[in-house]
């Protein structure tokens, strides 16, 4: 409720029913709070940005309303304006807390091997990470890569932050010892039903090759890499199996089908911009937004917010300026002929193809139109060629 709120009392007059009101609130997605009905009266709380929309709704349904209470961030602004020392002290204390909560105080290396433990600490130090290092400046991905490349005896390393501690979890390559970690390995998993036609794998173990059919959910490239080493000792074969883990990387191309349905009713209530625009600014302090203006706009507005934090001595503070760009909107009822509705449904299909299928080759496109008393429906079946797998992380049991 960035502009504050208003408490309303709504009565139905002679109609005695709020059924249409409840349906309209749900359809227009009004963010009402504390809505109650008693003795043919509804009480509710609504953000000030949506009050114009509520008034328009009540007028359309013939309901009477009364504003019982107005509240919001202006009270908070008055409290802090009378106590400047409180603000200054709070800012200093917060700055100190934020700084000391963002420097490394301790390390947790989840490894029982003393040699690996010491090597991990040496690599961290070489990467410039030690007690007192500013945590937001640490590139965890680069550091993990350095650990996997420079520390012998591990197949995986993951780093996570917990408060002012860094937790380093490693998996040893010897035997089948496995550890659960916070940065998980992954598989390349099929997200479409189709046929594999081209494979490009940079890391991981390929399970299904060119020409194989896949269904959604099949593992095509596995992040669990199993290697076997065979030795003959005294005439007997001794097979040693080792398991390591990786993030499966690569691209799997294939041909698959996708069916989409685009609907368009013959009559609908649409939203349009009135052309009015305004800019408002707030001082954002934790969850409070203190307005830096005296009057709030009337009517229904959409807002686009951008937050700029305030920095002291290069340290980002938990407060700053929020700029709110407002665009006024209203509603109108639009009626279409069957041909106009079909054209709109076809436009929706075109927009979908432009926004979501630009990375695929459309080999075939079959469209079917259906017309009813209420609207039209266009069903399009695409035959596509392109990437058909996505990366999915998995857990390693301890």
Task: State whether residue 102 is helix, strand or coil.
Answer: coil
Residue 206 CB burial class (10 angstroms; 0-12, 13-18, ≥19): middle
Query: What's the half-sphere exposure (Cβ side, CA atoms, 13 Å) at 66?
Result: 7
Domain ranges of the chain: 5-72, 106-172, 186-252, 258-268+335-388
Distance from C-alpha of 104 to C-alpha of 140, rounded to nearest angstrom: 13
Per-residue pLDDT of the chain (398 residues; tens, 9 = 90+): 566 778 889 887 655 568 888 888 888 888 888 888 888 888 998 887 788 888 888 888 888 888 888 776 545 555 666 677 767 777 787 776 676 677 887 888 888 888 888 899 999 988 889 888 888 888 888 898 888 888 888 888 888 887 778 889 888 875 444 444 445 789 999 999 999 999 999 888 899 999 999 999 999 999 888 887 877 777 787 777 888 888 898 999 999 999 999 999 999 888 888 889 999 898 887 667 888 887 778 888 888 888 888 877 666 677 789 899 999 988 889 899 999 999 999 999 999 999 999 999 999 999 999 998 889 999 999 999 999 999 998 887 65
Distance from C-alpha of 221 to C-alpha of 223, rounded to nearest angstrom: 7
Residue 196 CB burial class (10 angstroms; 0-12, 13-18, ≥19): buried
Distance from C-alpha of 75 to C-alpha of 80, rounded to nearest angstrom: 9
Q: Measuring CA to CA, which residue among 158, 162, 160, 161 is closest to residue 170?
A: 158
In the beta sheet, which residues pair with residue 382?
A: 258, 365
Distance from C-alpha of 12 to C-alpha of 39, rounded to nearest angstrom: 11
The kind and range of the H/E element at 72 are none
Tokens 């926004």: give the residue. 355
Distance from C-alpha of 57 to C-alpha of 54, rounded to nearest angstrom: 5
What confidence score (pLDDT) does residue 182 get? 41
First to last CA, the chain: 46
Hey, do 5-72 and 106-172 end up sharing a CATH topology, with the first three levels equal? no
What confidence score (pLDDT) does residue 388 get? 93
What confidence score (pLDDT) does residue 154 get? 86
Residue 176: DSSP 8-state: T
Sheet hosting strand 301-312, strand order edge to edge: 288-291, 267-285, 315-335, 301-312
Residue 355 CB burial class (10 angstroms; 0-12, 13-18, ≥19): exposed
Residue 173: DSSP 8-state: -
**CATH classification of 106-172 is 2.40.30.10, yes or no?**
no
Residue 247: DSSP 8-state: B
For domain 5-72, give the CATH number: 3.30.70.1510
Task: State whether residue 262 is helix, strand or coil.
Answer: strand
Q: Measuring CA to CA, which residue among 95, 93, 106 is closest to residue 162?
A: 106
Tokens of 301: 């507005």
Q: Measuring CA to CA, which residue among 325, 301, 300, 321 is closest to residue 311?
A: 321
What confidence score (pLDDT) does residue 342 get? 94
Distance from C-alpha of 23 to C-alpha of 29, rounded to nearest angstrom: 10
* Interacting residues of 109 by C-beta distance below 8 A, sequence separation 6+: 117, 120, 121, 168, 170
Tokens of 92: 């200093």
Does the predicted TM-score (pTM) go above 0.85? no
**Other CB atoms within 10 A of residue 352 CB:** 14
Tokens 């076809």: give the residue. 346
Characterize 208-236 residue by residue with b for buried, 16 or more Cβ atoms within 10 angstroms of its Cβ, and e for exposed. beeeeebeeebbbbbbbbeeeeeeeeeee
Q: CA 278 → CA 2, 281, 297, distances in Å?
A: 15, 10, 8
């Amino acid at each position: 409720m960035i502009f504050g709120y208003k408490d309303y009392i709504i009565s139905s007059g002679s109609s005695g029913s709020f059924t249409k009101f409840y349906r309209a609130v749900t359809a227009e997605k009004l963010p009402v709070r504390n809505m109650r009905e008693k003795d043919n009266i509804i009480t509710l709380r609504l953000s000030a940005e949506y009050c114009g929309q509520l008034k328009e709704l009540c007028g359309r349904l013939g309901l009477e309303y009364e504003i019982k209470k107005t509240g919001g961030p202006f009270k908070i602004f008055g409290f802090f304006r009378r106590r400047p020392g409180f603000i200054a002290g709070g800012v200093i204390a917060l700055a100190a807390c934020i700084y000391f909560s963002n420097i490394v105080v301790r390390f947790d290396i989840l490894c029982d091997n003393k040699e690996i433990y010491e090597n991990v600490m040496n690599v961290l130090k070489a990467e410039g990470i030690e007690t007192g290092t500013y945590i937001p400046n640490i590139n965890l991905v680069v550091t993990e890569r350095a650990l996997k490349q420079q520390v012998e005896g591990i197949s995986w390393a993951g780093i996570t932050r917990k408060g002012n501690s860094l937790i380093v979890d490693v998996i040893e390559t010897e035997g089948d010892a496995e550890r659960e970690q916070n940065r998980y390995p992954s598989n390349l998993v099929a997200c479409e039903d189709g046929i594999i036609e081209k494979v490009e794998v940079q890391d991981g173990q390929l399970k299904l090759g060119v020409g194989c059919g896949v269904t959604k959910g099949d593992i095509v490239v596995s992040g669990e890499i199993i290697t076997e080493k065979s030795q003959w000792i005294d005439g007997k074969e001794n097979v040693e199996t080792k398991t390591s883990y990786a993030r499966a990387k690569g691209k799997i191309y294939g041909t698959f089908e996708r069916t989409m349905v685009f609907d368009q009713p013959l009559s609908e209530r649409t939203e349009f911009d009135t052309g009015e625009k305004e800019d408002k600014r707030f001082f954002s302090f934790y969850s409070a937004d203190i307005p830096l203006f005296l009057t709030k706009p009337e009517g229904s507005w959409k807002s686009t917010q951008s937050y700029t934090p305030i920095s002291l001595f290069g340290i980002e503070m938990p407060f700053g300026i929020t700029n709110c760009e407002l665009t006024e909107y209203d509603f109108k009822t639009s009626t279409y002929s069957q041909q106009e509705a079909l054209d709109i449904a076809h436009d929706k299909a075109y927009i979908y193809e432009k926004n979501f299928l630009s990375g695929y080759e459309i080999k075939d496109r079959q469209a079917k139109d259906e017309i009813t008393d209420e609207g039209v429906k266009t069903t399009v079946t695409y035959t596509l060629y392109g990437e058909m797998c996505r990366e999915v992380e998995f857990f390693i049991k301890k």
